[in-house]
Amino acid sequence: MKTLRLAVVGFGRVGQVCAELISRSHDLSLASIVRRADSVGGKLPEALRSVPVTTHIGQVKEVDAALLCVPTNAVAEVAGQILQHGIPIVDCVTLHGEALHAHKQAIHKVAFHHRAAAIVGAGWDPGALSLFRSWFALLTPGGSTETRHHTGISLRHTTVAQSVRGVKDALCAEVRSSEGGVQRYVYVELEKHADTERVTQAIRADPLFLGQDMQVFPVESLAALEQEGRGVVLDRRGPSGRLGHQHLLLEARCDESVLSAQVMLAVSRALPELDPGAYVLTEIPLSAMWGERAEQAQRDWL
């Protein structure tokens, strides 16, 4: 099977994960990173230094598809610019219901006109989580679905750690260990030049934490940590009746950017077989997303 050459457009959270995952993939390769003119000089992570960075998709040599990782309100315009070169696209816009349907219709017109395929709303939510929602509803007609978003672990500010010299900000989480005990994780964002060891000792020495099972983790960004810890519970209750009461529950603790990037890569494998026009995830065969591993996946997961 031919290696698909992908361009990543927009190098924010989702774009960076897409680029990293493509560079580690066995059947996809990174043709280019396409950035706005203001960002193009920005430094790339070591592993991506050899990847060409451009400001325009037209400058990219041999590209099979583009993953659009730009803000939702910029996607339609960027999609138009890329589709007019006949290059297929994948986006993971954060739109739901009627708004996603309208987006698909608009992209369909452009994609069909330029004889290219486009897959829209292919991220985590909308995306993979929509598939679970849809399956839950199919399995329990007439039931009701509740979606609850939460932070993956409950983080709260800790004034003890925040008052230690060298600490910019700190968050604390209580985690139940496998033995059933409570562990305290203290995440600290440090001032420049702060001494990690000294900060850790100062926090451990505070009477509030003395004798407790606790660990201190310096992190680059607490904001990013809070984002990573997000999660969702999908709770579907079938109607009660003669056939019993079915209750389906899915809990995910995940980084939405990482899962969205995984979905974007997976659906890109399906693009070569699609007719021109726009599609959503429910219209893409699962086996096409596995690419050359489709048969093995059937044996493993069916």
Ligand X SMILES: NC(=O)c1ccc[n+]([C@@H]2O[C@H](COP(=O)([O-])OP(=O)(O)OC[C@H]3O[C@@H](n4cnc5c(N)ncnc54)[C@H](OP(=O)(O)O)[C@@H]3O)[C@@H](O)[C@H]2O)c1
Site for ligand X, rule CB under 6 A = 10-15, 35-36, 39, 69-72, 74-75, 78, 92-94, 123-127, 256-257, 260
- Residue keyed to tokens 């099977």: 1
Strands 117-119 and 89-91: parallel
**Nearer of residues 41 and 141 to ligand X, judged by Cβ:** 41
Least separation in angstroms between CB 8 and ligand X: 9
**Nearer of residues 158 and 257 to ligand X, judged by Cβ:** 257
Least separation in angstroms between CB 231 and ligand X: 13
**Nearer of residues 75 and 214 to ligand X, judged by Cβ:** 75
**Both tokens assigned to 45:** 């992570």
Residue-wise burial string across 261-294, b where 16 or more C-beta atoms lie within 10 A, e elsewhere: bbbbbbbbbbbeebebbbbbbeebeeebbbbeee
Nearest to 45 by CA among 15, 5, 9: 15
Least separation in angstroms between CB 106 and ligand X: 15
Least separation in angstroms between CB 27 and ligand X: 23
Contact (CB, 8 A) for 126 and 96: yes
Q: Which residue is nearest to ligand X (CB)?
A: 12
Least separation in angstroms between CB 184 and ligand X: 30
**Nearer of residues 22 and 214 to ligand X, judged by Cβ:** 22
Rg from Cα positions in the chain? 23
Neighbouring C-beta atoms of residue 77, cutoff 10 Å: 9
**Nearer of residues 131 and 294 to ligand X, judged by Cβ:** 131
**Nearer of residues 58 and 239 to ligand X, judged by Cβ:** 58
Least separation in angstroms between CB 163 and ligand X: 32
Peptide bond into 71 cis (omega under 30): no
Strands 53-54 and 65-68: unpaired
Least separation in angstroms between CB 78 and ligand X: 6
**Nearer of residues 11 and 290 to ligand X, judged by Cβ:** 11
Least separation in angstroms between CB 10 and ligand X: 3
Tell me how far CA of residue 4 lies from CA of 79, 111, 175, 248, 275, in angstroms. 19, 19, 42, 37, 17
What residues form DSSP beta bridges with 187? 171, 217
**Nearer of residues 124 and 279 to ligand X, judged by Cβ:** 124
Nearest to 28 by CA among 272, 294, 268, 275: 268
Residue 148, φ and ψ in degrees, nearest 5: -120, 125
